[in-house]
Amino acid sequence: MKDTPLSNCERDFLLKAIEEKKRLDGRQTYDYRKMKIKFGTDYGCCFVDLGKTRVMAQVSCELVAPKENRPNEGLMFCNIELSPMASPAFELGRPSELSVKLNRQLERCLRNSKCIDTESLCVVSGEKVWQIRVDVHMLNHDGNLMDAISIAAITALCHFRRPDVAVQGDDVTVFSPEERDPIPLSIYHMPISVSFAFFLQGTYLLVDPCEPEERVMDGLLMIAMNKHREICSIQSSGGIMLLKDQVNHHDRKIASVKVSEITELITKALENDKAARKAGGRCGFAESVPQERITALKKEETSVEMTDVTDRASEIVEKAEVPSQTVPSPVVPVPGVGQVGQGLQDTWGLEEEEEEEEDEEGGEEQEEKEITMEVEQHEKDSRGGYFEFSPSIR
């Protein structure tokens, strides 16, 4: 499906507003939209709301063989799913330019910055290591997907627990969460991406652009940084020239402030969730549905009445005709071919002899080494007749 295009009118309006240092949703230039972090029932499942942008990340793991050149290191793999749910412009199946760009940025942000201790993911050197898989699903696209993705991914990684394993000789046993408590990943630092949108050849700059703003922007600069003010990656796209100073001082300063704010939020969210889990309270998506909104409704557990269910069921069974016990005997014209039923004349019948041969071929093959067996079951066009029922039997 095509996306609704932005009209010239809207474009001019937006640009003019930006020139006057005003934004559509009333934010200041360096403000982030309201951010919300929620966790699912599973470990490693995280929802991030950034204004109306909404993404979900799920971390999973499996045991695989490691890469030959790095036998002691676990693997990490990111997959960003631009599901058409987020925007009608996204299509399923082939990866778009945007999804490749986002995926590469996320991998650079997480894998190349070595934020996870991959060596701790090794189970048997050279044979079995954990592969950590991060699936990020877009649920609603309202601009600045990258920031939301990076926050969701790193939070999900922090939240994730992998099952415990034991190695005895060659055997590897994986313990279920009931048997042994799962282990959290060891994470060195939390890289978070901050996006800057540039307008009018870099004269104006906005943090956390929303979707209409993204459409009129000239360039985008994504800086991934951790709270120690170390830059993990910088990517600039769009045809703008940036002054070295501008990147070095201005943007870095803003980014570091934002990153420390977000990191604090994530830690707080993680702590909250941990406390909730410890207290044994219910957690997860089901609990996070806002009750006060009129669009939401919840109903307590209800029981279903069972009276007259049995009566009704037995009534139907008894009322139905008893199936006839006589069965027409099948006809076997030649060995290997059978026929039953009536109806249309089968036009394949003329080739019965050929089928016979095929069958025998199958038999010969059987005597050979391979254990293939081919049987041709010739399905006759056996129509059991034509029935018409009156609509009300009951």
Partner 1 sequence: NTTVICGIKAELANPTVEAPGKGYIVPNVDLPPLCSSRFRPGPPGEQAQAASQFIADVIESSEVIQAEDLCIERGKLCWVLYCDLMCLDYDGNVLDACVIALLAALKNTQLPEVTVNTETCTPVVNLEKRHGLNIHKHPVGASFCVFDDSILLVDPTAEEESLLTSQLTVVTDEAARLCAVHKPGGTSLSGEKLQECISRATVRQKEIQKLIDKVIHSVKTSQ
Partner 2 sequence: MTSLISDEQILLFSGSMMEVCGSSKVTLREFGCEQSLLSRPDGSASFIQGETSVLAAAYGPAEVKVSKEIYDRATLEVLIQPKVGLPSVRERSREQYVRETCEASLLLSLHPRSSLTLILQVLHDDGSLLSCFLNAACMALMDAGLPMSCLFCGVTCAIDTDGQIITDPTAAQEKESRALMTFAIDSKERRVMMSSTKGSFSVPELQQCIAVSQKASEKIFQFYRDSVRRRYSKNL
Q: Does 392 bind partner 2 (CB under 8 A)?
A: no
The partner in contact with residue 97, picked from partner 1, partner 2, none with C-beta cut-offs of 5 to 8 angstroms by kind, is: none
Count of residues binding partner 2 (CB under 8 A)?
Answer: 57
Q: Does 180 bind partner 1 (CB under 8 A)?
A: no
3-class secondary structure, 249: helix
Q: Does 83 bind partner 2 (CB under 8 A)?
A: yes
Give the pair of three-digit tokens for residue 75. Answer: 């693997």
The partner in contact with residue 314, picked from partner 2, partner 1, none with C-beta cut-offs of 5 to 8 angstroms by kind, is: partner 2
Task: Quote the CA–CA distance of 347 and 17 in Å, as a whole number.
Answer: 76
The partner in contact with residue 83, picked from partner 1, partner 2, none with C-beta cut-offs of 5 to 8 angstroms by kind, is: partner 2
Task: Quote the CA–CA distance of 46 and 76 in Å, as a whole number.
Answer: 18
Q: Does 92 bind partner 2 (CB under 8 A)?
A: yes
The partner in contact with residue 174, picked from partner 1, partner 2, none with C-beta cut-offs of 5 to 8 angstroms by kind, is: partner 1
DSSP annotation of 201 reads: T
Judged by CB under 8 A, which of 84, 328, 338, 343 binds partner 2?
Answer: 84
CB 29 within 8 A of CB 19: no
Task: Give whichever of 23 and 137 is closer to partner 2, judged by the CB atom.
Answer: 137
| Sheet of strand 204-207, all strands in order from the earlier edge strand to the far edge | 204-207, 192-199, 219-225, 231-238
Q: b vs e for 296-310, b when ≥16 Cβ sit within 10 Å of the residue's Cβ?
A: eeeeeeeeeeeeeee
Task: Quote the CA–CA distance of 18 and 80 in Å, as a whole number.
Answer: 31
Judged by CB under 8 A, which of 9, 279, 296, 393 binds partner 2?
Answer: 296
| Residues of span 129-188 touching partner 2 by CB under 8 A | 133, 135, 137, 139-142
Give the pair of three-digit tokens for residue 168. Answer: 């005895």
The vertex-14 CA angle with 12 and 15, nearest 5°, equals 65
Judged by CB under 8 A, which of 203, 344, 357, 361 binds partner 1?
Answer: 344
Task: Quote the CA–CA distance of 209 and 86 in Å, as a whole number.
Answer: 17
The partner in contact with residue 319, picked from partner 1, partner 2, none with C-beta cut-offs of 5 to 8 angstroms by kind, is: partner 1
Q: Does 328 bind partner 1 (CB under 8 A)?
A: yes
With tokens 């995926």, the residue in question is 103
Dihedral sign computed on CA atoms, order 258, 259, 260, 262: positive
CB 32 within 8 A of CB 258: yes
Neighbours of 117 (CB within 10 A): 13
The alpha-carbon radius of gyration of the chain (Å, integer) is 31
- Least distance in Å: CB of 366 to partner 1? 6
With tokens 């050279």, the residue in question is 126
Task: Give whichever of 68 and 300 is closer to partner 2, judged by the CB atom.
Answer: 300
Q: Does 304 bind partner 1 (CB under 8 A)?
A: no
The partner in contact with residue 336, picked from partner 1, partner 2, none with C-beta cut-offs of 5 to 8 angstroms by kind, is: partner 1
CB 44 within 8 A of CB 159: yes
The partner in contact with residue 236, picked from partner 1, partner 2, none with C-beta cut-offs of 5 to 8 angstroms by kind, is: none
Q: Does 258 bind partner 2 (CB under 8 A)?
A: no
Q: Does 289 bind partner 2 (CB under 8 A)?
A: yes
Tell me the window of 230-238, 243-251, 278-286, 374-382 that interacts with partner 1 (CB under 8 A): 374-382
Contact string 30-69 vs partner 2 (x = CB under 8 A): ----------xxx--x------x-x-x-x-x---------
Task: Quote the CA–CA distance of 246 and 262 in Å, as a whole number.
Answer: 23
- Least distance in Å: CB of 134 to partner 1? 23
- Which chain residues interact with partner 1 by CB under 8 A? 174, 312-313, 316-317, 319-324, 327-330, 332, 334-341, 343-344, 346-348, 359, 363, 366, 369-379, 381-391, 393-394
